[in-house]
Amino acid sequence: MENRLIGKSYLDGKPLEIGISEGKISSISTLETDLENDFWIGPGFTDIQVNGYGGFDYNELQTDFLTLGQISRKLLQYGVISHFPTIITNSPDKISGLIKQIVQLRKADPLVKSCIPGIHIEGPFISPEDGPRGAHFREFVQAPDWNLFQKWMDESEGLIRIITLSPEWEGSISFIEKCRDAGILVSIGHTNASHSQIIDAVKAGARLSTHLGNGMHGTIARHPNYLWSQLSEENLSATIIADGFHLPAEVIQVFKKVKGKNLMLVSDSVAMAGLPSGDYDASVGGKVTLTADGKLHLHGNLNTLAGSAMNILQGVNFLLKNNIATLSEAWEMASVRPNRLFFPTYNPLEIGAPADLIQVVQQADRSLEILKIIKNGVEFSLRKPKK
C-alpha cells in the first residue's frame, strides 16, 4: 500500500505529492492545483556533529548503553533523521570504549542503526594551545597516530566516517593522505596551523572545516591567520553553529557569501541540549549553566561557552528569522549539503530514495514548525516539541 505526503517543495514552492512504499519514495508528481494548506515538504535534517542531547552523552560510558538510543528518538522530534555521534578528545582507551558502545547500540536498536550512518572523531589530534583547543582535555591531546586511528577504525567496524584534526603537527600530511585513501573525511578544526600547513592539508585531502569561527584564540593576528586561510580555500567546505552565541549573524552572513553552497549547519550539541535552564555538571567543562535563552556557559563565567545547547531545527530557524538564508538554502544547509560530503550525487527527492522526509509549516517570524516526520517510510510519533 502506498502512502502519500503532500506539500510545497522546499526547493521551489511547487505543490508536490510524494508516494511512499516499502520505506522508499515510489512516486513524485507536481500538482496542477494550489494546496489548501501552506505546508512544506523536504528531506529530514542530517547533523554530522552531535556529542549528546536531552541529558544523554555519547562521551560517557553508560551503565546501560541502550539509553543512548534516546538521543536518536529525541532528535527525530526536531526533524533530524540522521546524525553522527561525535567523540571528542579523551584517553585512547576511553575513546575505544565509546566507539564500541555506539557499535553495540546500533546492533541492538534498529531505529538507531538507521539514524546513525557514521561516527565523527573530534580529536585528539588537535591543537594543544589554549583557545584553539576549546574545552578538549589538554592531557589527552597528541600528534596524529595512524596505528592508533587504525585500531579505532577496526573497533568501529567501518563506522568512523569523519575525523577533525589540526594539521599543525609533524606527520599530519601523511596521516591525512592515509585517511583520504581509507575513505575517511578529514576536517580541519581546533587548529593553530599556519597558512602553508592548511594549504598542504587541503592538497593532501582535507575537505572540511569544523565549526568554522569557533575553537579559536580570542585574539588572532590581523593576517595571516588560520581563519582567513580556511575561508579562502575553495576546496574546503565548512560547518557552522548557528545558535546566536557561537557566531553573530553578521559573521554567518560573511561566511555564507564566501563559502556559498559549501556552507552547512551542525549543532555540536552536548548532553544539556534540550534540557530546562539551570546548572549542570558536564562531562567536559565541569559545572555549567544553561540560560533560559539557550546559552550554555561555564558556571560563573557568562563569556565562556561550554558547548552548544541547540539542535539543527533551531539553527535553521536562526538563519530564517535573521534573514540570513532563504527557506530552501537553510533547509539544504541542514540536509542535502552534509550528505553530499559523503555521497556527491545525493538526491533525497527521487524515486527509490529512502523516505526520510519532514512536513513543516512556516510561522510569521519565518521559523519552521515540524508537523510530520517520515522515517524509513513510517510516520514517527510527534510530541509537539518546542521550536
Q: Is the pLDDT of residue 2 over 80?
A: no
d(C-alpha 24, C-alpha 4), whole Å: 11
Task: Give strand ranges (E) for 123-243.
Answer: 160-165, 185-188, 208-209, 237-241
* Mean pLDDT value across residues 104-112: 98
Q: Is the pLDDT of residue 114 over 70?
A: yes
Q: Which of 35-39, 142-146, 277-281 has the highest mean pLDDT?
A: 142-146
Helix count (H) and strand count (E) of the chain?
A: 11, 21
Give residue limits of the domains in the chain.
1-43+348-387, 45-346
* Mean pLDDT value across residues 309-328: 97
Split at pLDDT 50, 70, 90, the class of 287 is confident
CATH number, span 1-43+348-387: 2.30.40.10
Q: Is the pLDDT of residue 386 over 60?
A: no
Q: Is the pLDDT of residue 38 over 90?
A: no
Instruction: Check residue 1 and give its pLDDT.
Output: 62
Average pLDDT of every residue of the chain? 95
Instruction: Check residue 298 and give its pLDDT.
Output: 82
Is 379 buried (19+), middle (13-18) or exposed (0-12) by CB count in 10 A? middle
- What pTM value is reported for the model? 0.96
pLDDT tens for 175-229 read 999 999 999 999 999 999 999 999 999 999 999 999 999 999 999 999 999 999 9
Characterise 366 by phi-psi region: left (phi > 0), alpha (psi -120 to 50), beta (else): left
Q: Nearest CA to 329 among 8, 9, 10, 7? A: 10
Instruction: Check residue 387 and give its pLDDT.
Output: 44
Task: Say if CB 281 and CB 219 are below 8 A apart.
Answer: no
CATH number, span 45-346: 3.20.20.140
Task: Say if CB 143 and CB 173 are below 8 A apart.
Answer: no
d(C-alpha 307, C-alpha 290), whole Å: 10
pLDDT tens for 223-274 read 999 999 999 999 999 999 999 999 999 999 999 999 999 999 999 999 999 9
Parallel/antiparallel/unpaired status of strands 39-43 and 3-9: parallel
